[in-house]
Amino acid sequence: MVNNQIIGDRETRPSPLSTEDLAVLRDNLREQRLFREDQLRQIAAAPARTDEPVRRTAAQTEVRVKLAASARMVLADVEAALDRIAEGRYGRCQLCRRGIDRDRLMIVPQARYCARCQQVREAGR
């Protein structure tokens, strides 16, 4: 009975983040967003060099495409996290719905999953 109450409380209580924590995380996410947007602009603006051997140009293009793809992926995660903050559902695992550890969010503010679910996802790849 007591155990049930504790478990129930764990699952329904709001995320353990304070207002200050959220402000720090939001600033961090906004900085990351600016950084990624800038990075994407730079990748897009990089001039295509026509004086290079074709093979090298192709390799550079491939690197750029990969860089842009990963920057876009992070940017999407960051924007989704900012949306979650705005909607008041930030800091909750999207799989098991438990609160994500504050320490984890301080390192990876855009985390969608708790450490446990992230591990399960990565193991399943």
Q: For Zn ion, which is the closer residue by CB, 9 or 51?
A: 9
In this structure, what is the dihedral angle of CA atoms 90, 18, 86, 24, given to the nearest 10 degrees? -100
Name the residue among 122, 123, 91 with its Cα closest to residue 18.
Answer: 91
Q: Is 96 in the site for Zn ion (CB under 5 A)?
A: yes
Name the residue among 101, 82, 86 with its Cα closest to residue 28.
Answer: 82
| Part in contact with Zn ion (CB under 5 A); list of ranges 40-48, 58-66, 79-87, 91-99 | 91-99
Q: Is 111 in the site for Zn ion (CB under 5 A)?
A: no
Q: Which one of residues 43, 95, 101, 108 is an interface residue with Zn ion (CB under 5 A)?
A: 95
Q: Is 93 in the site for Zn ion (CB under 5 A)?
A: yes
Residues that bind Zn ion (CB under 5 A): 93, 95-96, 114, 117
